[in-house]
């Protein structure tokens, strides 16, 4: 059963359906009311069990997920979601240590906000992550059936699907897809971390933030798991990263 802690916004003002997962009812109500005032439909969940029930029954556009939850942690739940869905996730955490933020990003989160937080900052993060996700879908729809091939891999830019040389469909988070497109469009060129943050439209990070490195590490592991031992994303010491395969762009459906 869906659990909505506050009244939802009217359909006319609906900018998206946000699922707020936090065991603190005051935070759920605070976040829900603030987002609703800005046109979002909001559903609340106090734990992972209810969260997964909501995801099975409703079309959710974005999840705000607390790290410290009763039962399974936000880290674990983020991994569960990423196993079947690419819905954007903003991690909400009372922990400020870099290692915790890195673990959240490695689990598949698209962004994070540290408690105590400003509701306006959270709103800005939600808007930015949703905008990136929707822009990618629109861009993909406009690409008819364009896809690219490299080193035995196939990537459908319209469907946002990546297929390995062995035929396995590889799940990509929003951030990983952004990076993949950036690498493909600038193959065999050295890209600095700052350039990748710009091309991939990642969160408004400090240049020394490890978020981009975490996303690249996740993407690299997924690519190299089925790359016959080859390294597709090469680290260029002191300069950045390079996507090494030759890339071909084609129209129509892949064979």
Cα atoms found within 13 Å of the Cα of residue 174, Cβ hemisphere only: 26
Convert 51-80 to b/e letters by CB count within 10 Å (16 or more is b): bbebbeeeebbbbbbbbebeeebbbebbeb
Across 59-63, 128-132, 179-183, 203-207, the highest mean pLDDT is recorded for: 59-63
Q: How confident is the model at residue 138 (pLDDT cuts 50, 70, 90)?
A: low
DSSP H or E segment with residue 111:
strand 111-114
Say yes or no to pLDDT of 201 above 80.
no
pLDDT tens across 187-200, in order? 888 888 888 877 76
Distance between CA atoms of residues 104 and 90, nearest Å: 9
Three-state SS for 124?
Answer: helix
pLDDT tens across 218-250, in order? 888 888 877 565 688 999 888 889 999 988 876
Query: What's the whole-model pTM score?
Result: 0.60
């Amino acid at each position: 059963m869906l659990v909505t802690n506050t009244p939802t916004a009217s359909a006319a003002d609906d900018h998206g359906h946000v699922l707020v997962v936090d065991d603190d009812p005051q935070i759920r109500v605070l976040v829900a009311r603030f987002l609703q005032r800005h046109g979002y439909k909001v559903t609340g969940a106090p734990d992972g069990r209810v969260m997964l029930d909501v995801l099975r029954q409703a079309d959710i556009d974005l999840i705000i997920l607390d790290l410290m939850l009763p039962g399974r942690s936000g880290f674990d739940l983020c991994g569960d979601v990423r196993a079947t869905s690419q819905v954007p996730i903003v991690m909400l955490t009372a922990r400020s240590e870099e290692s915790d933020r890195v673990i959240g990003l490695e689990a598949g989160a698209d962004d994070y906000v540290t408690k105590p937080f400003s509701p306006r900052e959270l709103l800005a993060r939600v808007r930015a992550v949703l905008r990136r996700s929707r822009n990618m879908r629109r861009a993909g729809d406009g690409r008819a059936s364009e896809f690219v091939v490299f080193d035995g891999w196939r990537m459908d830019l319209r469907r946002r699907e990546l297929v390995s040389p062995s035929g396995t469909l590889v799940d990509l988070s929003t951030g990983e897809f952004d990076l993949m497109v950036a690498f493909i469009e600038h193959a065999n060129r050295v890209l600095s971390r700052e350039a990748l943050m710009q091309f991939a439209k990642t969160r408004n990070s400090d240049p020394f933030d490890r978020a981009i490195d975490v996303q690249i590490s996740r993407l690299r592991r997924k690519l190299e798991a089925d790359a016959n031992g080859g390294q597709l994303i090469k680290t260029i010491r002191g300069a950045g990263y390079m996507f090494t395969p030759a890339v071909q762009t084609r129209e129509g459906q892949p064979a």
